[in-house]
Amino acid sequence: MSAALEMEDVEVVKQSHSSEQVKSSMSKATWFLAIFQVALVILMGVCARGPEGHTEPGTVTQAYNMFIGVEIMMFIGFGYLMTFLKLYGMGAVGFTMVATAMALQFAVFTEAFWYQVWYNHYTYVTFSMYTLLGALYTVSAVLITFGALIGKISPVQLLMITVIELFCHSFNYKVLMEGVMEFQDMGGTYIDHMFGAYFGLAISYVLGKPKKSAEGGHTADTFGFLGCLFLWIYWPSFVAGAATADSDEQARALVNTILSLSGSTVATFFMSSILEHGRRFRPVDIQNATLAGGVAIGSIANLKIGPFDAVVTGITAGIVSTYGFSRIQPWLEENFGLHDTCGVHNLHAIPAIIGAVASVIVQGYKGMQDDTSPTQWWRQLVAMIICLAYSIVTGLITGFIVKMLDPANPDEIEEFRDDAWWEVAEDFGNDTNTVDENEEFEKDLELE
């Protein structure tokens, strides 16, 4: 009897510590959000202005249509793609929502700041449909990073990562990639997918492996498919949105993206069955690797390539991405301790490298057809190396910063569970509890 009471006392003390740490971390997140939004309001009052005149590549309506497509990708596509975590659905959708809303405002300033620094020309920051669309592209890098860390970081850590990454991403994009290298990457293969993935993986490496494994489930996987389908349908908006409206370049980007996605989807279904011992399809492959074609095609979609090039790029990305989920990811975790919750290395990082190599090849033998410099191919190659190195280094530094400012104790805060950060309904995790209770009941019967 006394032993049972001691166990109950230990559990109460543990829950008390957990509650205090959660309250402290949540308090940091709450005030961080409030102070950051006030700072943005001041910036908008002093440094920003609305659209004046019409100097952009399309009409406002055309820009808004593209913006809606990319916005759906961010809020619904990325959010629901990460709901494969059985007990972290609110975190997947909710934290995606707040990070997107926060980053959408700030990214306009970070991109304008580094652009003005590079060209040494300072003026008001303009908020228009096209600058907001550009900000959404930047948001995608943040959400890709979140995919590598989801369930393992606190809300305030996510907010800190978002702010730091926006500064780092915009410097990479406006100064290193566009300013120094003068590279071409309409669909964000380098600047969004490659940067966001390796930035997040570097942070994950610093934070270390979680104490427990993420829990999935059939219903959760179904919601994950919903996010996959929204991303699949609207991905052409992401790749072609920045092109001049109704131009030949935009038409090529739309068609080539659809073809590449189709190729990666067929290849993923094939490879998923081949690599699974029972010859069945694995949900994790179909939810993610089917999208790899959209990642890889981004750097060449607007160029004068044919359907053959687009489909082959998609097929290659789908095959390698599926192999990554099946073989490479477990190997990296076992040998290097690199935990990747959503497998962003397989969906975003590796396909981005494939896309970067494709851009080197295409610019090398077809570059003149697109009126680009004969040296553009090596610019694409060097840009890939710089982007890789910069994203990993800045990610490692960011990982140490967030680990120091909000150190989490996984013994007190259970990972991959909504109830640490959200008020949850009574049915939260009931099926899991029921299984545990049944197992205990069966053990009692065996003892009797």
Model confidence band, residue 18 (pLDDT cutoffs 50, 70, 90) = low
Tell me the three state secondary structure of residue 125: strand
| Percent helix, strand and coil across the chain, each to the nearest 5 | 75, 0, 25
What percentage of the chain reaches a pLDDT higher than 90? 78
Residue 49 φ then ψ, to 5°: -150, 165
Structural domain includes residue 263? yes
Alpha-carbon gap, residue 56 to 44, rounded angstroms? 21
The pLDDT value given to residue 444: 52
**Which residue type occupies 22?**
V
Question: What's the distance, CA 372 to chain centroid?
Answer: 31
Structural domain includes residue 416? yes
Number of other residues whose CB lies within 10 A of the CB of residue 170: 24
Tell me the pLDDT tens digit for each residue of 85-139. Answer: 999 999 999 999 999 999 999 999 999 999 999 999 999 999 999 999 999 999 9
Structural domain includes residue 430? no
Structural domain includes residue 391? yes
Residue by residue, DSSP assigns 147-166 as: HHHTTTS-HHHHHHHHHHHH
CATH code for the domain of 201? 1.10.3430.10
- 19-33, 36-50, 222-236 — which is least confidently predicted? 19-33
The pLDDT value given to residue 414: 84
Structural domain includes residue 313? yes
Number of domains present in the structure of the chain: 1
Structural domain includes residue 61? yes
- 45-59, 77-91, 102-116, 383-397 — which is least confidently predicted? 45-59
Q: Which residues pair with 49 in a beta bridge?
A: 126
Residue 91 φ then ψ, to 5°: -65, -40
The pLDDT value given to residue 1: 45
Structure tokens at 8: 């109950």
The range of the structural domain enclosing residue 386 comes to 22-424
Structural domain includes residue 444? no
Tell me the pLDDT tens digit for each residue of 193-203. Answer: 999 999 999 99
Structural domain includes residue 446? no
Cβ(346)–Cβ(329) below 8 Å? yes
- Kindly report the average pLDDT of the chain as a whole number: 90
